Structure 1
Amino acid sequence: MSVQVRDISVRFGRRQVLDALTLPEMHAGEVTVLAGPNAAGKSTLLRAIAQLLPHQGQVALDGQDLRQMPATERARLVGFMPQSLPSGSSLIALETVIAALRAGKTLPAHQADAAAMAVMEKLGIASLALEPLDALSGGQRQMVALAQAIVRDPSLLLLDEPTSALDLARQVRLLSELRRLAAEGRVVAAVLHDLALAAQWADRIVLIHAGRVHAHGRPQDVLTPALLAEIYGVEARIERCSRGRLMVLIDGERQLAR
């Protein structure tokens, strides 16, 4: 299983957000992190891959063009977790997960209920099942959004800033779940701002800047002081902790030569 993303261009009015961007092929079993500064085009790229906004270029899952697939087939194969769920919903959390499940397959009511509840239990949010979605905290809503994204058992899982509202324990739970899902044979791609998390959990990092791929590779190859100075404008150190894990330490803004 692999995903090919080629020559993606997206324009909003006069602004060219993505300019013929091509990603390295993403493979099942790997977690790919899309990183880069604000307004680099990361979220736009993720939505283009999910076929949620108009774009030029091609996204293929094992050679099959996602844009040419029937919507129900694409919904079954692709799971997308947005930065935040829309407000104003009168549904309880369990109902939103059931609705996401039924977007890709038809199941009897009792089977849909059981499948949705099983996913929520796996994520540790079963206690939220009967809570109104609008009554949940930001972090709780993100975990429900993850349940919605994975309940159809997709082959490709796309997540936009999945840890932004989570406390430390929930971050670990979510990222551990992503690693498990990838290990089961899925392609997983996530936008992350936190480079320390990316360094620890990603198999591959793609640095995006000004609508293009600036660098890609293993975390230790991409997260270098020179690249972080160039892309983020910061003075950084890349070190190893006592367990050998990569750490990103930001000392301050890059001092420009006068």
Structure 2
Amino acid sequence: MRGAGAQDPKVRGLEAKGITVRYGRRGVLDGLDLPPLRPGEVTVLAGPNAAGKSTLLRAIAQLQPYRGQVLLDGADLARMPAQTRAHAVGFMPQTLPAGSSLVALESVVAALRAGGTIPARQADATAMAVMEKLGIAALALEPLSALSGGQRQMVSLAQAIVRDPRLLLLDEPTSALDMARQVRLLSELRRLAGEGRIVVAVLHDLGLAAQWADRIVLMHGGHTHASGRPDEVLTPALLAQVYGVTARVERCSQGRIMILIDGEHAPA
């Protein structure tokens, strides 16, 4: 693996065991287990619609009731004090809540202060430094309500990383971004993982997942269907089983994985 800490067997990282979530009578996750996710890795959760990817991410972030256990370096996140967990876990939702009257910088400062008291001048400087790193410093005094979807996504990333979390969870972080900002965001995730963090993202674009992920967890039917390196998981057989498509998996001139969909898969 490319990131720091990925090879250290003493680091436990993130573990999820027996995660079960139900919405009324409908089961979404059914005793799902994740393989240990190590610091230094970018892990992508992939799978078809309604596979439970976002639900799993919210359960790990302690934003969704569940049965089972989520451990971060051996500590049960459900039993961790809220302020301690706020420092340890950063979460980026699919979209920011609508109707906020804050400007972008204020929203990042508010996210920073969720982890505890910090002097105003220090909070402003820390939040501004994060926005500059992400290339969105020019948006600092813009109201959130005036930002485009892509700009709001980048502000949301700033909110998620401003407390310097050990575990970073991102729900479809590239969905509203143009290609240049997708590269910027995914490059930042690689950098954050390289500093020894655990990064877990839901991505629908398997091409992006193949290029940027160390590990892909393929979800289907409320379970982990497959897990491994992109070349181990993105195979014609697994794509047929999980997505119901006939696909070719090939390499481009630079050796990157390309997925070509030829049609729906007809079960034997």
Scaled by the length of structure 1, the TM-score of the pair is 0.98
Q: SS state of the match for residue 40, structure 1?
A: coil
The aligned residue for residue 4 of structure 1 is 15
The aligned residue for residue 184 of structure 1 is 195
The aligned residue for residue 69 of structure 1 is 80
5+ long unaligned stretches in structure 1: none
- Is residue 2:16 matched to residue 1:40? no
The aligned residue for residue 124 of structure 1 is 135
Aligned residues: 257
Alpha-carbon distance in 2 for matches of 1:106, 1:236: 52
The aligned residue for residue 119 of structure 2 is 108
- Residues 94-138 of structure 1, C-alpha deviation per residue, up to 9 Å, x if partnerless? 100000000013211000000000000000000111010011111
5+ long unaligned stretches in structure 2: 1-10
- Is residue 2:196 matched to residue 1:196? no
Alpha-carbon distance in 2 for matches of 1:159, 1:43: 9
Picking from 244, 258, 267, the partner of 1:233 is 244
Q: Which amino acid aligns with 2:92?
A: M
Q: Which amino acid aligns with 2:175?
A: S
Shift of 1:190: 0.3
> What is the CA RMSD across the aligned residues, in angstroms?
0.8
The aligned residue for residue 156 of structure 1 is 167
Q: Which amino acid aligns with 1:212?
A: H
- Residues 175-204 of structure 1, C-alpha deviation per residue, up to 9 Å, x if partnerless? 000000000000000000000000000000
Shift of 1:255: 3.5
Picking from 96, 107, 121, the partner of 2:107 is 96
Alpha-carbon distance in 1 for matches of 2:26, 2:253: 45
Q: Which amino acid aligns with 1:134?
A: S
Alpha-carbon distance in 1 for matches of 2:102, 2:80: 29
Scaled by the length of structure 2, the TM-score of the pair is 0.94
- Residues 145-195 of structure 1, C-alpha deviation per residue, up to 9 Å, x if partnerless? 000000000000000000000000000000000000000000000000000
Picking from 8, 28, 53, the partner of 2:64 is 53
Q: Identity of paired residues, percent? A: 76
The aligned residue for residue 169 of structure 1 is 180
Q: Which amino acid aligns with 1:237?
A: R
Q: Which amino acid aligns with 1:28?
A: P
Picking from 222, 230, 238, the partner of 1:211 is 222
Which is further off, 193-202 or 241-250? 241-250
Alpha-carbon distance in 2 for matches of 1:130, 1:250: 44
The aligned residue for residue 221 of structure 1 is 232
Shift of 1:256: 4.6
Shift of 1:251: 1.9
Alpha-carbon distance in 2 for matches of 1:149, 1:156: 10
The aligned residue for residue 87 of structure 1 is 98
Q: Which amino acid aligns with 1:226?
A: A
The aligned residue for residue 4 of structure 2 is none
